[in-house]
Structures are given as structure tokens and as C-alpha cells.
Amino acid sequence: MTMQSVTVRVPAKINLALAVGGLESDGYHPLTTVYQAVDLCDEIRASAVDDGDITLTVTYDGRSATETAEVPVDENNLAYRAADLLRRRVGVDDGIALSIRKAIPVSGGMAGGSADAAAALVAADAIWGLGTSRQDLLAVAAELGSDVPFCLFGGTAMGTGRGDQVSPVLARGRYCWVLGLADRGLSTPVVYAEFDRLNESAPPAEPQVAPALLSALRAGDPAALGAVLSNDLQEAALSLRPELTETLAVGEECGALGSIVSGSGPTTMFLAGDEEHALDIALALTGAGVCADVVQAAGPAPGARVIA
């Protein structure tokens, strides 16, 4: 069944663990990561159009309007490429109008661009009435970027390969996160290049996730989880943005169960014991003036889905 218009909501991701191996000849690093989707979401409104065009608009939810300037509105936008790749894979030549409302920070280490690509796949599939199988959608997602399959998946999941091979992880409970947003993003390839530079003399080990992290998730134990959060890209992100060290220290002083850089940064993430504790951490970060913005978010959240 084709639809005239749909709205798709898609969550941001954080990495509870991000273990990174050495650079391979394809320009990527082998990963073992545990993703969690959090309820800081972008929304895409998609409408059918009569000609074969794909058009795009972007508005930024709440925060600095200048941020939208960073997001391309042409074929360089991953959401555009997602719709275009899907129609080429299935052999249709329909068009679509995509309006993205962004709340996920741009270049923030939270898969903002990948989330929009995942949302565009779900939206285009609905608008064009394709009924693409989940497996085929995940395969198209993996061609678009390493984090795109997880953005379809949502919840809490293990990522291997480039991060694109996703399987679910048993996680009980709900986790309260505080996110410290920076005033400007960090480029993922630049952070990986810095990781390579820092590890030049001692190549990184085979990437592995600590069993203690998986048992903390199975037990639904935030204190145990907070103690074992890990990110192999953190050193590289801090090397490029030394000021993030102070941001992390503010969260630690406030008794955050874990304080860590999210993915390739520069967003910082803090695990709280409950909502009240999360508010304390958020107020401390705001009061210390160490972040451009502070957001509370809960995980796990569902993956990209049609909400209207």
C-alpha cells in the first residue's frame, strides 16, 4: 500500500562500549561495540511527489539555527542518498519530499546523519509501498554507513565488523543519561585518524567488549554498567578537544555512575542513578558552563519507525 505522507521518528545512539582495532586496508577499523538507542530523536516527514525528484529541507529543533547550515540539503545528505539507493535497489523511479527536524547534534558522535538515513529508508519504503524485508533494509543501511543498521534496529545491540553487523543484546531496565552537547562537532574520520596517530607505535588489540558490561545490562544494574563504560576513541577525541576533560570531571564530581565521550565525540554522556540524579548532573554541567547545551535522555529507545 502506498501512502501520501508519513512521519518517521528515529533515535540517537550512544556507545556503551566501543572497542576499536587497527586500521584495515579498506580504510575502516574493525569494531566491537555495544550500542544503545536513546530517546533524543530526529523526525522525518516524507511526502509523495509527482515527479521523480528527491527534495530535502532541514530544521533544527530548539537549538542554534546556524547549526542547520552544517547539514547539506542535496545529494550529500545521507537521507537523500538513502532514498536514492533504496529506489535504485528495488528499481522504482518515484520521487519523495523529505523534511528533517533535527534534535540529534550534528557531528556529535551520536549518529545524527545515520539516524536520518535510517529514517529516510523507513519513510521511502512506506511512501513507495515497497514492503522491503527487514533483512534487505538492513543490507541497504549497511551500504550507507556503519551506524545506519543500528539506527533501524534500536534498543541495545552489539555491533561488529565496521559496526554494521548488528545483533540484539539482552538488557533489562531503563537508563537515565545526561548528554553534554558541544558548540561545534567533530569529524568522525578526523577522530579515527587521531586514534591511528596515537596508536602508531603499538597497534590496537583485537576489539573486545568486557563481559562485565554485558552482565551489568542483563542484570539491569546502572551502577555496575557505569563502572565499565568504555570508549577507545575517547583519548583521540580528548586530544582534539582537551576542554572535554573538564566536562567529564564535572559529571564525575556530581557522582555520575559513568562519564564518557559518546562515539567519536564531542558529545559527552553521563549515566545517572535516576531522573532526579540526572537533573542534578544536568544542572551542574549547565552551572559550570562546560557545555553548549545539556539534554536528558533515556535508553533504550526503539529504532526508526513510522509514528504517523
List the x/- string, 105-144, binding to ligand C5P by CB under 6 A: ----------------------------------------
Q: For ligand C5P, which stretch binds (CB under 6 A), given 41-49, 116-124, 188-196, 224-232?
A: 188-196
Site membership for ligand C5P, residue 192 (CB under 6 A): yes
Residue 33, SS3 per DSSP: strand
CB of 177 or CB of 195, closer to ligand C5P: 195
**Quick check: 137 and 5 in contact, CB under 8 A?**
no
Beta strands in the chain (DSSP E): 5-20, 31-49, 54-60, 95-102, 156-160, 165-168, 175-181, 230-231, 258-261, 268-272, 293-299, 305-306
Residue 164 Cβ vs ligand C5P, minimum distance, rounded to whole Å: 7
Q: How many other CB atoms are found less than 10 A from the CB of residue 306? A: 15
**Quick check: 6 and 308 in contact, CB under 8 A?**
yes
CB of 27 or CB of 62, closer to ligand C5P: 27
Backbone angles phi, psi at 157, to 5 degrees: -150, 155
Of 282, 293, 291, the C-alpha closest to 62 is 293
CB of 29 or CB of 87, closer to ligand C5P: 29
Q: Which of residues 261-300 bind ligand C5P (CB under 6 A)?
A: none
Q: For ligand C5P, which stretch binds (CB under 6 A), given 50-58, 185-193, 252-260, 269-277?
A: 185-193
The verdict on whether 147 is a catalytic residue reads yes
**Pick the catalytic residue: 13, 42, 94, 102?**
13
The verdict on whether 13 is a catalytic residue reads yes
C-alpha dihedral (142, 147, 153, 157), degrees to nearest 10? 120
**Pick the catalytic residue: 94, 116, 125, 147?**
147
**Quick check: 244 and 268 in contact, CB under 8 A?**
yes
Contacting residue, 189, 223, 243, 275, with ligand C5P by CB under 6 A: 189
CB of 236 or CB of 278, closer to ligand C5P: 236
Among positive and negative, which fits the CA dihedral 104, 237, 188, 231?
negative
Q: Which of residues 9-38 bind ligand C5P (CB under 6 A)?
A: 27-29, 31
User: Which residues share a beta bridge with 73?
Assistant: none
Q: How far is CA 257 from the centre of its chain?
A: 21
Residue 31 Cβ vs ligand C5P, minimum distance, rounded to whole Å: 5
CB of 205 or CB of 249, closer to ligand C5P: 205
CB of 13 or CB of 102, closer to ligand C5P: 13
Backbone angles phi, psi at 115, to 5 degrees: -60, -45
Q: Which of residues 152-181 bind ligand C5P (CB under 6 A)?
A: 162-163
Please identify every residue annotated as catalytic: 13, 147
Binding site for ligand C5P (CB under 6 A): 27-29, 31, 145-147, 162-163, 188-189, 192
